[in-house]
Structure 1
Amino acid sequence: MDSRRWVMSQQLRDVLFLHWPVPEAWLCGHLPPALELDLYKGQAWLSVVLFKARNTHLRGIPALPGMREFLQLNVRTYVRYGMRRGVYFFSMDANSRAAIEAASLGGFLPYRYSRVNMEKQGNQIQFKSSHGKGVQDAEGIELFYRPQEELAELASVERWLLERYCLWTQPKGRLYRLEIGHPPWRIQYVKGEILRNTLAGFLPEQLHRLRPIAHYSTGTDVFFYPPVVEKSVKKH
C-alpha cells in the first residue's frame, strides 16, 4: 500500500466483476499512447465492475449528500506503464450527479451519469444500467446473479485480473497515476445470466456474444492516494 496519506476513501459493497478475453486489436486504439496493454500469456482482457458505493468522502470531511450511497459501473482494461501494472477506465457510470461532479474531480476521471438500479431478493441480486436517451441506442447492462456460499480458490489468471492497485487517466493530454489501497479481494463465484449487454460500444463485437469469468465480493474499503504526473518512459 502507498506510504503517503490517502486523500479519499470509499466503501464498496456487493461487487461483481465480469471479465472477457478479447483480441488485443480491439483495445489498442482506445488507450493513451503512453500506455501499453497488459496481457496475460498473450491475452488481452476487458472487465466490467458493478458495485454499491457508500460513504465516499475526502479525508477529514464527512460524506456529503449524494456521496453517502450510489451505484456505479466501470468498464476497464489492463495496462502497464514501464514496470507498473494497473487499469485504465473507458467509462465510469454512476446514478448520482453529485457523486459524479465530486468524484470525477472536474473531468479528471471518465464519470458519466447513468440510470442504474440494484435490487436484492434473498440471495439473488438484479442489476440494470442504461446510459443514453434512446432505448435502442442506450449503452448498458441487465443481469441477475446469485453468489455461491464458499470462498473461491482462485487460479493465477483470476488473481491477475482482480488484484490491481493503481489506475491511469489522461485528462487534457496529461497522464496521471492514482494508487489505490485495499486488502486482497475475498471472492465467491456466481451463477446467473446476462439478459442484455451493450457496454463498451466502441468494440467491433458486442460482449453479450462472449461468456465472461464472473466473481463476487461482499465488499471492501478502498483508499485513494494523491495523483502523480507520469514522466515519459520508453515502451518495451
Structure 2
Amino acid sequence: MLPEPVTARAPRTVRPTLLSQDWRDVLFLHWPVHPAAVAPLLPAGTFPDVRNGTTWVGLVAFSMQRLGPGRTPLPYVGTFPEVNVRLYSVDGRGRRGVVFRSLDCPRLPAVLVAHAALGLPYRWSRTRWTVDGDALHLATRVRRAGGGGARCVLRARVGPRLERPGPLADFLTARWGLHTRTAGRTLYLPVEHPPWPLHQAQVEHLDETLLRAAGVDVSGPPASVLFSPGVSVRFGPGGAAASGPNRVSSW
C-alpha cells in the first residue's frame, strides 16, 4: 500500500482522547540519513519513510505542558522539558509516523509510566530547556548508567516566521501518529493537533552524543533547523501496525 499523503493538517480525527498535552517552544534539528542505516532500528511491521531517496533523523527539544489522561492535566508531573531522538516510519497500512529512539526528561514518574504502558524509550535525565526571547538553550544528560552518559548542550536562535514552510518542513514536522513496540506487537497511536506555526532557526552551538547513543551516526551540522511556539495535542486509541514488505517508502 502506498503511504498516505503528507499534509500539514491531521488526516484523521482522534476520538476518544486518551491523552492530551501541550508541546511548547519546540526546536527541530534534522539530518539526512540513508534508509538502510536506520531500517534495523524500526519496529517490526514498519519501514523508513523516504523523501527523494533519503530519510531523516530528528533531535527535538521542547517543553511538555499539561500532560494528562483524557483532557485532565496532571499537576507537576505533567509539565517538564524533553529532548528526543526520532526516526520516520510507514506501516503496512500506509500510515506515516514517528519512531522514538530515546526520550529524555527529568520526571521519573513519567519515565516509568511511559515505559510500562507503551514501551516508549523514556530515560530519566537532568534536563534544562530555557527560552529567553529568541534565544534557546538546552542542557541534558542521561542519569541512568544504561544511557552511556549521553548528553546534549545546544544554543539556538529563532528567526522569522515561515509563511509557506514547504514540502520538506511538512515531511519532517507534520507527523500524525507514532509507532511503538510493546508486549510483542507494533502499535500505531494517532495524534491530532493544529498545523504547526513554523519559524526559521539557527544553531549557534551544538555538542551532543544523543544521536550516536540512539544508534544513528551523522556528520556536520543539521541540514534543517525549525522552531515552533507550539501546539495543543490529543492522542487517540491505537491499533496494530499491519505488516508490510521489507522496503522503504517513496515520495
TM-score (norm 1): 0.89
Task: State the secondary structure of the residue aligned to 1:161.
Answer: helix
Distance 1:230 1:121, change over 3 A: closer
Contact 1:48 1:75 in 2 (8 A): yes
- Give the fraction of aligned pairs with identical amino acids, expressed as a percent: 29
In the alignment, the residues of structure 2 paired with residue 235 and residue 77 of structure 1 have an alpha-carbon distance, to the nearest angstrom, of 16
State whether structure 2 residue 52 is matched by structure 1 residue 23: no
State whether structure 2 residue 66 is matched by structure 1 residue 88: no
Q: Which residue of 2 aligns with 1:198?
A: 209
Q: Which residue of 1 aligns with 2:76?
A: 65
Q: Provide, for residues 177-228 of structure 1, a one-character-per-residue CA deviation record: whole Å limited to 9, x for no partner.
A: 1000001111001123233011122577743634331000001101011121
Distance 1:203 1:221, change over 3 A: closer
In the alignment, the residues of structure 2 paired with residue 206 and residue 6 of structure 1 have an alpha-carbon distance, to the nearest angstrom, of 36
Q: Which residue of 2 aligns with 1:9?
A: 20
In the alignment, the residues of structure 1 paired with residue 75 and residue 25 of structure 2 have an alpha-carbon distance, to the nearest angstrom, of 22
Q: Which residue of 2 aligns with 1:44?
A: 55
In the alignment, the residues of structure 1 paired with residue 33 and residue 244 of structure 2 have an alpha-carbon distance, to the nearest angstrom, of 26
Contact 1:179 1:225 in 2 (8 A): yes
In the alignment, the residues of structure 2 paired with residue 230 and residue 4 of structure 1 have an alpha-carbon distance, to the nearest angstrom, of 18
Q: Provide, for residues 112-148 of structure 1, a one-character-per-residue CA deviation record: whole Å limited to 9, x for no partner.
A: 11111122333211111111567xx521211111111
Contact 1:75 1:92 in 2 (8 A): yes
One-letter amino acid of the counterpart of residue 160, structure 2 = E
Aligned residues: 234
Task: State the secondary structure of the residue aligned to 2:211.
Answer: coil
Per the TM alignment, residue 108 of structure 1 is displaced from its structure 2 partner at its CA by 2.4
Q: Indicate the larger mover: 226-235 or 168-177.
A: 226-235
Per the TM alignment, residue 107 of structure 1 is displaced from its structure 2 partner at its CA by 5.1
One-letter amino acid of the counterpart of residue 78, structure 1 = Y
Q: Provide, for residues 67-110 of structure 1, a one-character-per-residue CA deviation record: whole Å limited to 9, x for no partner.
A: 1x101111111111122111111111111112223344435211
Q: 1:167 aligns with which of 178, 181, 205?
A: 178
In the alignment, the residues of structure 2 paired with residue 95 and residue 112 of structure 1 have an alpha-carbon distance, to the nearest angstrom, of 8
Structure ranking higher on relative contact order (CA contacts 8 Å, 6+ apart):
2
One-letter amino acid of the counterpart of residue 196, structure 1 = D
Contact 2:137 2:155 in 1 (8 A): yes
In the alignment, the residues of structure 1 paired with residue 159 and residue 207 of structure 2 have an alpha-carbon distance, to the nearest angstrom, of 22
In the alignment, the residues of structure 2 paired with residue 181 and residue 71 of structure 1 have an alpha-carbon distance, to the nearest angstrom, of 21
Q: 1:217 aligns with which of 212, 224, 228?
A: 228
In the alignment, the residues of structure 2 paired with residue 148 and residue 209 of structure 1 have an alpha-carbon distance, to the nearest angstrom, of 21
In the alignment, the residues of structure 2 paired with residue 204 and residue 111 of structure 1 have an alpha-carbon distance, to the nearest angstrom, of 15
Contact 1:26 1:204 in 2 (8 A): no
Q: Which residue of 2 aligns with 1:75?
A: 85
State whether structure 2 residue 162 is matched by structure 1 residue 151: yes
Q: Which residue of 2 aligns with 1:130?
A: 141
One-letter amino acid of the counterpart of residue 38, structure 1 = D
Task: State the secondary structure of the residue aligned to 1:118.
Answer: strand
One-letter amino acid of the counterpart of residue 70, structure 2 = R
In the alignment, the residues of structure 1 paired with residue 51 and residue 242 of structure 2 have an alpha-carbon distance, to the nearest angstrom, of 25
Per the TM alignment, residue 160 of structure 1 is displaced from its structure 2 partner at its CA by 1.1
| 5+ long unaligned stretches in structure 1 | none
Task: State the secondary structure of the residue aligned to 1:106.
Answer: helix
In the alignment, the residues of structure 2 paired with residue 203 and residue 105 of structure 1 have an alpha-carbon distance, to the nearest angstrom, of 20
Contact 2:57 2:87 in 1 (8 A): yes
Per the TM alignment, residue 33 of structure 1 is displaced from its structure 2 partner at its CA by 3.1
